[in-house]
Amino acid sequence: MMSKEQRRSQRVEITLPVRIMLRDNRSGLNLAETSGRIDDISRHGLRLTTPQIKAGSFHLFYAFNENETQTLYLEIQAEEAEGIRWEIPARPVWFDHLLSAPGKPFQLGLEFACEPEDEAVEWLNRLVATRKRRQSWLGRLFS
């Protein structure tokens, strides 16, 4: 029997490109970077798709679960950012290889490594809400 998923908050589907940076917490230097796409988001985390599971020599899942001196940061790359560079720290909680998808990308579940009230997370959730309103037929009717 399959167990029911227990989520802390509702997920909202969105497509949003991001830059993924792997940072050393002591020096503040970026160790590696790659790009990806947010596929859905909630108040506490998101689902990320990336073409490969490694950035440089770092595995995006294992490098951060085994080493607390490194943090994964997501830089939002959206027109709505209007030149503001939003970086959100995150921790991977699961990953999966999409074997049936073209190019065989990876998906990672990430939880925010900051409070949901963090300014960048709140901005991201407002962005998602704005895009969601624009996507609905009723939202387009009144915009």
Q: pLDDT tens, 77-94?
A: 766 666 677 889 999 999
Range 9-24 average pLDDT:
87
Q: Which CATH architecture has domain 12-141?
A: Beta Barrel (2.40)
Between CA 49 and CA 17 the distance in angstroms is 10
**Backbone φ and ψ of 65, nearest 5°:** -85, -20
Least confident of 10-14, 29-33, 133-137: 133-137
Contact 91, 110 (CB under 8 A): yes
Domain ranges of the chain: 12-141
Place of tokens 């990430």: 110
